[in-house]
Structure 1
Amino acid sequence: MAVSAPITPSIVHTAIRHVRTEPTRNEFEYRSYSWLVDVDELPVLPRGLRALATFDAGDHLGDPDLSIRDNLEAYLAANGVGFSGGRILMLTNARVFGHVFNPLSVFWCLNGDGTQQCVVAEVHNTYGERHCYLLETDLRGAARTPKRFYVSPFNDVDGEYRMRLPLPDSSLHLSIVLAREGQAPFVATMSGDVVPATTRHVIRSALAIPLAPLRAAVQIRYQGIKLWAKRLPIVPRPHHQPQEAVQ
C-alpha cells in the first residue's frame, strides 16, 4: 500500500515526553524541533544561516566518507534486505553551530511505487555509541523488537520495544514503549506539527529554541542526575558490540 509522503525538507516542531514508572516515577517534557529530509536532497542553507543546520553522514550509521544513502543501503544489505534507489526520508536533528545529538533518528525506506519497505530506527546514547533497529511496521506504523542497546544507566537491556513510527504528513506522532513482563517501565513520545523548511521557519525555530540538540543532551543528563540523587541503582554498561555496517 502506497503511503502519502510529506513535502521535504520540513521542520517538525516537537514536544518530547519521557515517563519512567519503575522502580521510581519520573517524567518530563521539553520542546524542540527536528528536520524531515530526503537523504538525496539534504538542505543547504544560505551561507549566512548555514550554522543553523548542516547534515553530515558522520553523524549517522556507517562510513563517514560515504553518503547517508550508501550507508543505509549497506546496512539493509547486511541484514538481508534488498533496497536500492527508492526514496529514503529521514527524521533527525541537524548540526547547530557544530553541535548535534540524536537520541533517535528514523529512516523511512520507500519503494519506487510509493509503498513502504521498512523503517530503521537509529538510537544514540550519551556514551557516543549507536545502534540500529530494522523494523517491518504494520499499517499503523507499529512494530516490536527486542531491546539490544544500553541507553540509560538505570535500565539494562532486558525487555522489548513496542514502537509506533508512522510516516508523518502534516503532523508527527511517534512512541516507544519499553515493555517487560507485567509492566512498561519507560515510555517516550514525540509529537508535533510539520511545516515546510522555509528560511522564515528555520530562523523562527532557531530563535525559539536556540541550540536545540544541545538542549536535548542537557535535559537527558539533568534527568539522570535527578535519578542518581534519588539513589536509583545504576546498571553497569555492558560492552557494546558494534553492528555490521553501523559503526
Structure 2
Amino acid sequence: MLDYVRASTYHARLGAVKNAFTYSVDFVVTDFGPAKPSLISRNRFNLWSIWDHRHGGKRDEGQGKQWFYDLLKEKGFPVESAQLVLVTQPSYLWFHFNPVSFWVAMIDGKPCAFVAEVNSTFGQRHCYFCAHDDFRPITERDRMVADKLMHVSPFQRVEGQYIFIFGFDEKQINIRIHYENGNNGVLATLEGNRSPATSSKLAWAAIRRPFGAARVVALIHWQAVILYFKKAPFLKRQSPPETLLSEGHAKE
C-alpha cells in the first residue's frame, strides 16, 4: 500500500514575537509493501525514494519498519493484528530531510499507537511514543502529551510539552501539534487527503514543488531569517537527549 497526500502545513508562533506561515507539502503513507508506482522506490534511487535507514532508529542508522514492530512488541501492543505504516516526506532525488514523520499502528483501520519521529536541522533526532494504556483507538478528542526533550528551533527552549491531536484514517490526515511553554509555544498542523499514489501524481508534485526536501530546508531557514529580524531571542544549539525514545500519555 502506498498513498499520496497532497498536504498543507501551518505554523503559528505564540508569545511576544508572533509569526505564522502556511506551506504545501507532499507526503506518502506506506506499509513498505511491494506495490509502488514507477517514480518511487524503496531503498533505491529514483525521483522519489523511501529509505529504510532514514527511519526507525538513530538518524541515518534506521531499521525501517522492523524498528517500529520491535518497539510495539516490547510495549505489549498486539502487533500481529495491526497494520503498521509510515507517514513521511519521501526523499527527492538526492535530497532528504523530514522535520517530522509518523509511525502509526492501526487495528481495524483505527490508530492505536503512534511515534512522532522528530528531526532537527542540527542533526538530532528524538522519537515520542504515544498510546493509551490499554491501546484503545486514539481519536481526535484525545490529547496525547509528551515532554519536549530535543532542541528543534534556536528560537524555542528545550522545555514545556507537546500536545498531539491525532486525526488519521483511510481518507485523510489531520494532525495538530501544540507546543506549550508558559505563554510561548507553537501550533503546527499537517492535513490533507489520502489517495492511491500514481506516477502522474508524483510527477506533478515534483513539477509543482521542485526540490522536495531541499525546498523544506530552505523554507525553514527563511523563516529563521524572518524571526531573527523580528528580534526573537536566539539560543545556541542545545545538547541532544540521552535517549532516542520517550513516552507520552493521554491528558486527563
- Answer yes or no: same fold by TM over 0.5: yes
Name the counterpart of 2:210: 210
Name the counterpart of 1:157: 158
Q: Is the 8 A contact 2:149 2:241 kept in 1?
A: no
Looking at structure 1, the residues matched to 33 and 110 of structure 2 have their Cα atoms a distance apart, in angstroms, of 18
After superposition, where does 1:218-229 map in structure 2 within 5 Å?
A: 218-229=218-229
The one-letter amino acid paired with 2:231 is R
Q: 1:94-132 deviations in whole A, cap 9, x for unaligned?
A: 111121111110111124x55543111100000111110
Looking at structure 1, the residues matched to 128 and 103 of structure 2 have their Cα atoms a distance apart, in angstroms, of 10
Name the counterpart of 2:5: 12
Structure 1 residue 44: Cα displacement: 6.3
Q: Is the 8 A contact 1:74 1:245 kept in 2?
A: no
The one-letter amino acid paired with 2:32 is V
Name the counterpart of 2:90: 94
Structure 1 residue 26: Cα displacement: 0.7
Q: 1:204-227 deviations in whole A, cap 9, x for unaligned?
A: 112111122211111111111221
Residues 177, 227 of structure 1: CA spacing in aligned structure 2 closer, same or farther, 3 A cutoff? same
Looking at structure 2, the residues matched to 72 and 208 of structure 1 have their Cα atoms a distance apart, in angstroms, of 32
Structure 1 residue 245: Cα displacement: 7.5
The one-letter amino acid paired with 1:59 is R
Q: Which moved more, 1:93-102 or 1:34-43?
A: 34-43
CA RMSD of aligned residues (A): 2.7
Looking at structure 1, the residues matched to 61 and 148 of structure 2 have their Cα atoms a distance apart, in angstroms, of 29
Looking at structure 1, the residues matched to 61 and 230 of structure 2 have their Cα atoms a distance apart, in angstroms, of 43
Paired residues, number? 236
Runs of 5+ consecutive residues of structure 1 not aligned to the other structure: 1-7
Looking at structure 1, the residues matched to 178 and 105 of structure 2 have their Cα atoms a distance apart, in angstroms, of 22
> Is 1:56 paired with 2:40?
no
Name the counterpart of 1:28: 21
What TM-score do you get using the length of structure 2 for normalisation? 0.82
Residues 135, 199 of structure 1: CA spacing in aligned structure 2 closer, same or farther, 3 A cutoff? same
Residues 55, 222 of structure 1: CA spacing in aligned structure 2 closer, same or farther, 3 A cutoff? same
Structure 1 residue 16: Cα displacement: 1.0
Q: Is the 8 A contact 2:56 2:65 kept in 1?
A: no
Q: 1:144-188 deviations in whole A, cap 9, x for unaligned?
A: 11111110001012111111122233222111011233x352101
Q: Is the 8 A contact 1:75 1:244 kept in 2?
A: no
Name the counterpart of 1:239: 239
Identity across matched positions, percent:
22
Name the counterpart of 1:126: 121
Q: Is the 8 A contact 1:15 1:32 kept in 2?
A: yes
Name the counterpart of 1:5: none
Residues 101, 143 of structure 1: CA spacing in aligned structure 2 closer, same or farther, 3 A cutoff? same
Q: Which moved more, 1:43-52 or 1:141-150?
A: 43-52
Structure 1 residue 83: Cα displacement: 5.3
Q: Is the 8 A contact 1:174 1:191 kept in 2?
A: yes
Q: 1:19-60 deviations in whole A, cap 9, x for unaligned?
A: 012230111111111111113447463599962211112212
Q: Which moved more, 1:165-174 or 1:13-22?
A: 165-174
Residues 211, 90 of structure 1: CA spacing in aligned structure 2 closer, same or farther, 3 A cutoff? same
Looking at structure 2, the residues matched to 65 and 226 of structure 1 have their Cα atoms a distance apart, in angstroms, of 33
Structure 1 residue 133: Cα displacement: 0.3
Runs of 5+ consecutive residues of structure 2 not aligned to the other structure: 133-137, 247-252
